[in-house]
Structure 1
Amino acid sequence: MLFSWPYQAISAIAYIHSRGIVHGDVGLHNFIHDDGRLILCEFAGSGMDVLLPTIGTGVRHANPRHSQNPHPTAEDDVFALGAVLYELDRGKRLFEGQSSRDIYRHLRDQELPDLSVVPVPLRHIIEKCWTLPGCRAGDALAESSPLSSQ
């Protein structure tokens, strides 16, 4: 079941986005483990339709391309999803042990962790979440079907 968690995380974000919801605070801290399944939770501050999100991610999951935007977007959720997928695969937090200032600098300068140790297709999904402007959770979901059977 552990190996299907990345697929479940991607599915959750793709689903809420298909319903016009921006979570705003995507991170492992907002997924719970329930009977072997990963479930997205904590929607306080999320946005829907014309209601803008009122919460944002911590620096570890923040999209550096939108640092000046006061309201998270679906693209910000997708960037944070890339961090969640990385953390699920590696079993540790993105930039573990580094200060918020250093993490911000790494993200701003696009100094992302080495993904060569992450298996394909997960590696390609994370890369797109982090680097492809306009990448949508639905795009990641389409690429993630091999993850669901692992």
Structure 2
Amino acid sequence: MSDNPPGPHSASHTQHGHGDEIPSLNQKGEFVAIGSTSYVERLPDGVVIKTAWPGGDRARQRRREIATEAEIYDCLSEYPCLVRKKAWDPDEHALTLEDMPNGTLEDYLASHADVPLEQRNKWATEAVGCLQLLHGSGVVHCDVGPHNFLLDDRLRLKIIDFSGSSVEGSRTEISPGTRYAAPVPGGRSLQWTAPTTKTDLFSLGSTIYFIMTGKAPFAEFQSEDVQKMYSNHEFPDLAGIPHADLTRSCWSQEFESVDGLIPFLDV
């Protein structure tokens, strides 16, 4: 399950796999995020570089994951809802990306509680558009959340972190954080369930809830309690919250496709 690392290119998890040791690194710049798949640095020239962790039991898998991310950027980086890929080094397994000056959506809202509703509505629309692009291209993100959206200098959303994404139905070991993860029938781990567009849409609902309220769903409860409530189809009260119908449709997994959400944005 994904945790949220402390930096603008979260793209990785802050915990390391069981039995893995943190290897010594050939540090190139300022550390931005450190996780189980990769570590992210900001270079002096203003770009960020994401490098797969070397060594350890999952080294080969990590290299595959970051190579998949590079391929997704190759296919989609011309679109405005993704950051621009600057370079890919297949020998170093390092992906260089443009930096975003306003950091993650999660961090921005944590420090800007007075964001006007007009801007929040724009973010909701842009988040839907990001998933519409990914799903239309055969990509299921698998870790949608406010930690995986960056903000550019005009506060436009950019979705990031495709190292754990599923492409054309491929398996992945990445799953969203508890408050963004759809309940799985039979108590199985989402990590071992084939990802679908509907699981991304559930995460989108929780993300839009965060955008509108500034907090994660059921932030006041422990994770295990949230899992139980989700399994019982219990969700936060949406009375008076903008885009309540859209959020409710995501949580109920009413639609197979993000296209079903578009009419809610016109209300």
Contact residue 144 and residue 180 of structure 2 kept, 8 A = yes
Structure 1 residues 118, 135: closer, same or farther in 2, change over 3 A?
farther
- Residue aligning to 1:47: 166
Post-superposition shift, 1:52? Answer: 2.4
In 1, the alpha carbon distance for the partners of 2:156 and 2:266 equals 16
Counterparts of 1:1-150 in structure 2, within 5 Å, are 1-35=119-153, 36-65=155-184, 68=188, 69=190, 70=192, 71-119=194-242, 122-145=243-266
Give me the TM-score of the superposition, normalised by structure 2. 0.51
CA contact (8 A) 2:181 2:202 kept: yes
User: Which is strand-richer, 1 or 2?
Assistant: 2
Deviation larger for 64-73 or 109-118:
64-73
- Describe the superposition over 1:89-117 as per-residue Cα deviations: whole angstroms up to 9, x where unpaired: 01111111321111111111111111112
Tell me the TM-score normalized by structure 1: 0.87
Which structure has more RCO (C-alpha within 8 Å, separation ≥ 6)? 1
| Range with greater deviation from structure 2 (81-90 or 130-139) | 130-139
What amino acid maps onto 1:38 in structure 2?
L
* SS of aligned partner of 2:176: coil
Which structure 2 segments of 5+ residues have no match? 1-118
Of 60-69 and 27-36, deviating more is: 60-69
* Shift in Å, 1:143: 2.8
Amino acid paired to 1:64: P
C-alpha contact 1:23 1:53 (8 A) present in aligned 2 = no
Distance in 1 of aligned mates of 2:169 and 2:247: 29
8 Å contact kept, 1:116–1:123:
yes
Local SS of the residue matching 2:244: helix
- The answer to whether the Cα contact below 8 Å between 2:201 and 2:253 also exists between their aligned partners in 1 is no
CA RMSD of aligned residues (A): 1.7
Report the Cα offset of residue 49 of structure 1. Answer: 1.2
8 Å Cα contact 2:249/2:255 also seen in 1: no
Distance 1:18 1:75 in 2: 13
State percent identity of aligned pairs: 30
Runs of 4+ in 1 over 6 A off after TM superposition: none
Report deviation, 1:135: 3.7
Pick the structure with greater CA Rg.
2
Distance 2:120 2:249 in 1: 22
**Partner Cα distance (1:41, 1:132) in 2:** 23
Higher share of residues assigned helix: 1
Contact kept, 8 Å, 2:179 with 2:226, in 1: the verdict is yes
Partner Cα separation in structure 2 for residue 56 and residue 132 of structure 1: 17
SS of 2:127's equivalent? helix
- Is the 8 Å Cα contact of residues 169 and 195 (structure 2) preserved in structure 1? no
Question: How big is the shift at 1:140?
Answer: 1.2
